[in-house]
Amino acid sequence: MPLSTDSALTEITALLDDVAAGISERDPDRCVARFTPDARSVIATGARAAGREAIRAAHVTAFAAGGPPRTARFVVLDLHLPRPDLALVTTGAYAAAPDEVVDLDHPTSVVTWTLLHDDGWWVAARQFTPVAG
């Protein structure tokens, strides 16, 4: 059954909320739980990693160095479904709790996500891009 944009958005938001919770809780396993084994990532510190274990290690290093912010939130700014099993998602990244109001026009970073749908959504790639203040 094809996914609707609404159902995809609901599932993707839950995935992104879980990644954000992993960042806020400093839990590298939760951060990468829904990453594909061969995922690619550039985290907010600029560290590039290939593979779930390398991405997990990049999170461990970032947490040990005191970053990223103690609260993390990703808000979907754009969702494109070129195929039912592929989502290109742009989010704003905010140092904000889930219930805090954020300025959608002024994220500290923009994150581009490539997600694959195979028994749920999985992160295949993620790229943080800082936004000039």
For 80-126, how does the pLDDT look when each residue is reduced to its tens digit (9 = 90+)? Answer: 999 999 999 999 999 998 889 999 999 989 999 999 999 999 999 99
Full domain range(s) for residue 62: 5-97+106-130
Q: Which of the four pLDDT bands, split at 50, 70 and 90, describes residue 75? A: very high
Q: How many domains does the chain have?
A: 1
Strands (E), the chain: 35-42, 48-50, 73-83, 86-94, 109-117, 121-130
Please give the pLDDT value at position 28: 96
Instruction: Quickly tell me which residue has 């958005």 as its tokens.
Output: 9
Q: Give the CA distances from residue 86 to residues 80, 105, 128, in Å, rounded to whole numbers and listed in that order.
A: 8, 26, 19
In tens, the pLDDT along 13-34 reads 999 999 999 999 999 999 999 9
For residues 42-59, give the mean pLDDT: 92
Q: What angle do CA 96, 102, 105 make, to 5 degrees?
A: 130
Find, among 109, 84, 86, the residue nearest to 20 by Cα: 109
Say which CATH number the domain at 19 has.
3.10.450.50
